[in-house]
C-alpha cells in the first residue's frame, strides 16, 4: 500500500487568498484526489460533502482561517499524520498478513468550520471519514484535542479503510452490528498502536450505568439494517437528528463506547488483536463477545423518513 498525504496546507493557503468567486474551483481541485478515489465505488460528491458538512466556508471571508492554518503548519500536523499512518499500516500488515488493501490511499486534511457545533461542540474539533478504500478525509479545527489526536484519528480511519477492502459493505444491508464493531475495532487499534491516551473521546465518554443502558439498547438493535437507520445507534440522538433521523434514546456517540465493549470482549475471548481482527466478519466478533445476532428485527424507531436524511447509497459518515 502507498499512502499519499496531500499538501492541502499549500492548497488552502492559496484558496484563502483568492477572490470568493474562484474558491469553488480551488476547493474542487484540492478535493480531486478523494473524488477520484471514491468514484470507483460511490457517487459521493466530495465538494457537496464539504460545503454542506463541517468544512470551512467558501462563501465568505474569515480571517480566522489563515491563522488556524498557520497553527496546523506550526504543529507539523501533516508530518504527524504521515508518521502515524506509516506506523498503522506496518502494524496492520504485520498482524494480518495478506490482508487486502487499496493500492494507494489518498489522505486529504481540510480545515473545518469553527462555527459548526457538530465539529466543535459534539466533537472535539476533528472528524474523519475512511470507509471507502483508497480515500481518507480528515476535517479539523486547531483545538487542543484536535492537535493532539489528529494523527491517531488518521490511524483509526486507516483501520476502516483496510477493513472495507476485505469486508463487503452494502448501504442497504449494513447493520448496526457492523458499524459499532468497526468503530470499536478502530479505537482498540489506536490503543494498541499508541496507548489508551491516544483514543478519541467517543469510545470512553460513557461508563457505569449509562454505558450499561446504552449497551442494552444498541445490542437490542444489533440487526437493524440499512445505512439510513444507523446514525441514532452509532452517533446518538443529537447527531442523528442533525442528520434527519429520529432518536432512539441514546447519548452522544453511544455506539462507539458499546462497540469498544464488544470488541474488548472479543479480544479477551480469542486472544486476537484489533489489528489482526481487521478483516473478521462482524458476526464472528459479536458471537465471540456473546452478543446474539440473526433475530428478525422490526423497523427501528430511528428509521430515517426526513427527506434530508443521509443518502442510503452514500458511505460518508461522521467518524472519530
Query: What pLDDT is attached to residue 300?
Result: 41
The pLDDT score that the predictor gives to residue 295 is 52
| 3-class SS letters over the chain | CEEEECCHHHHHHHHHCCCHHHHHHHHHHHHHHHHHHHCCCCCCCHHHHHHHCCECCCCCCCCHHHHHHHHHHHCCHHHHHHHHHHHHHHHHHHHCCCCCCCCEEEEEEEEECCCCHHHHCCCCCEEEECCCCCEEEEEECCCHHHHHHHHHHHHHHHHHHHHCCCCCCCCCCCEHHHHHHHHHHHHHHHHHHHCHHHCCCHHHCCCHHHHHHHHHHHHHCCCCECHHHCHHHHHCHHHHHHCCCCCCCCCCCHHHHHHHHHHHHHHHHHCCCCCCCCCCCHHHHHHHCCCCCCCCCCCCCCCCCCCCCCCCCCCCCCCC
pLDDT < 70 stretches in the chain: 295-320
Each residue of 275-312: pLDDT tens digit?
999 999 999 999 999 999 885 443 443 333 332 233 43
**118-136 pLDDT tens trace:** 999 989 999 999 999 999 9
Can you give the residue ranges of every domain in the chain? 1-166, 169-314
pTM of the model: 0.92
Residue 302 pLDDT: 36
Amino acid at each position: 500500500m502507498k499512502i499519499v498525504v496531500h499538501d492541502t496546507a499549500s492548497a488552502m493557503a492559496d484558496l484563502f487568498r483568492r477572490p470568493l468567486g474562484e474558491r469553488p474551483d480551488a476547493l474542487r481541485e484540492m478535493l480531486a484526489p478523494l473524488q477520484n478515489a471514491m468514484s470507483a465505488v460511490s457517487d459521493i460528491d466530495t465538494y457537496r460533502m464539504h460545503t454542506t458538512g463541517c468544512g470551512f466556508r467558501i462563501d465568505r471571508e474569515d480571517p480566522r482561517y489563515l491563522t488556524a492554518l498557520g497553527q496546523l503548519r506550526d504543529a507539523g500536523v501533516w508530518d504527524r499524520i504521515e508518521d502515524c499512518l506509516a506506523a498503522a499500516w506496518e502494524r496492520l500488515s504485520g498482524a494480518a498478513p495478506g490482508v487486502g488493501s487499496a493500492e494507494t490511499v489518498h489522505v486529504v486534511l481540510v480545515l473545518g468550520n469553527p462555527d459548526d457545533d457538530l465539529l466543535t461542540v459534539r466533537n472535539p474539533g476533528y472528524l474523519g471519514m475512511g470507509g471507502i478504500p483508497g480515500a481518507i478525509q480528515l476535517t479539523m479545527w486547531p483545538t487542543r484535542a484536535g492537535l493532539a489526536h489528529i494523527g491517531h484519528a488518521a490511524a483509526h480511519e486507516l483501520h476502516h479503510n483496510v477493513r472495507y477492502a476485505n469486508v463487503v459493505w452494502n448501504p442497504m444491508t449494513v447493520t448496526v452490528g457492523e458499524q459499532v464493531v468497526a468503530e470499536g475495532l478502530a479505537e482498540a487499534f489506536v490503543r494498541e498502536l499508541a496507548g489508551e491516551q491516544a483514543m478519541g473521546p467517543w469510545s470512553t465518554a460513557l461508563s457505569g450505568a449509562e454505558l450499561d443502558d446504552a449497551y442494552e439498547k444498541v445490542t437490542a438493535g444489533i440487526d437493524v439494517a440499512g445505512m439510513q437507520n444507523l446514525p441514532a445507534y452509532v452517533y446518538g440522538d443529537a447527531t442523528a437528528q442533525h442528520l434527519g433521523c429520529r432518536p432512539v434514546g441514546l447519548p452522544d456517540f453511544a455506539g462507539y463506547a458499546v462497540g469498544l465493549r464488544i470488541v474488548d470482549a472479543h479480544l479477551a475471548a480469542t486472544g486476537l488483536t484489533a489489528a489482526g481482527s481487521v478483516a473478521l466478519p462482524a458476526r464472528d466478533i459479536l458471537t465471540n463477545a456473546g452478543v446474539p445476532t440473526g433475530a428478525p428485527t422490526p423497523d427501528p424507531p430511528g428509521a430515517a423518513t426526513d427527506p434530508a436524511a443521509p443518502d442510503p447509497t452514500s458511505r460518508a459518515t461522521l467518524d472519530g
